Amino acid sequence: MKGCIHITNDQLDRLLTVIDFQRDKCLVVLGIRTGFRISELLSLRFIDVLNPDGTVKDSIEVKASNCKGKRESQRVPLHIDAKDAIMQYILATETPICGNEKLFPFKRGNAHKIIKKWTRLAGIDESRGRIGTHSLRKTFAKRIHEAMGSDIMKTQIAMRHKNIDSTLKYLNVDHEEIEQAIRNVK
């Protein structure tokens, strides 16, 4: 987590425009729309996201063994963008899907390389800070925090944190925004 920053809306638009491999787009969208850690995303199997009839589930669950420091499983509702990304990925898959196969059949290091590749192709400048796999979770945190009217308690629940201090670490202070506000306050 340390050093990674969130992806801005403009950067995300550019990123999703350049990603032409549906599996990679699904990884990015699921990360941003669920807030799952990369290890949780990589633990997902097709059976975790698909109903028996082949439709995408309304919510997905990460097993307790794949949750950081948690004893219970975590269920997260799926945003329409996440459901669409999963379906587009499935439609683009040329081999038959076995329910027990991993949704993302690679390791954490490969996920990092995938994110770096696409952010470079999207021309995303890292002068604000480093972008990596944890940027997906940080982007989720920032977007949820804004959607919840900056309510830190609700953000904590959405992030599935036991300690609010953990949530605060995800919400980076934008010093430029603070300086601008100080200059323009009436």
Counted residue by residue, the chain has a size of 186
Which pLDDT score, from 0 to 100, does residue 140 have? 94
Which pLDDT score, from 0 to 100, does residue 171 have? 82
d(CA 17, CA 51): 28
Name the percent of the chain in helix, strand, coil, to the closest 5: 55, 10, 40
pLDDT, one tens digit per residue, over 17-30 is 999 999 999 999 99
The two structure tokens encoding residue 69: 């420091």
Where does the pLDDT of residue 168 fall: very low under 50, low under 70, confident under 90, or very high at 90 and above? confident
Select the more confidently predicted residue: 70 or 88: 88
The two structure tokens encoding residue 38: 């990369």
Q: What are phi and psi of 93, to 5 degrees?
A: -75, 125
Query: Which residue ranges make up each domain of the chain?
Result: 9-174
d(CA 101, CA 98): 6
Using a pLDDT cut of 90, give the percent of the chain over it. 62
Q: What are phi and psi of 39, to 5 degrees?
A: -65, -35
Q: What are the strands, taking DSSP E only, across 38-108?
A: 59-62, 74-77
d(CA 41, CA 85): 14
Select the more confidently predicted residue: 99 or 172: 99
Which pLDDT score, from 0 to 100, does residue 165 have? 86
pLDDT, one tens digit per residue, over 98-141 is 778 999 999 999 999 999 999 999 999 887 788 999 999 999 99
Q: What are phi and psi of 60, to 5 degrees?
A: -125, 155
The two structure tokens encoding residue 147: 């959607």
- Beta-carbon contacts of 86 under 8 Å, excluding residues fewer than 6 positions away, are 26, 30, 49, 50, 56, 78, 103
Which pLDDT score, from 0 to 100, does residue 71 have? 56
Architecture of domain 9-174: Orthogonal Bundle (1.10)
Q: Is the pLDDT of residue 64 over 80?
A: no
Average pLDDT over residues 2-27: 93
The two structure tokens encoding residue 181: 């506000």
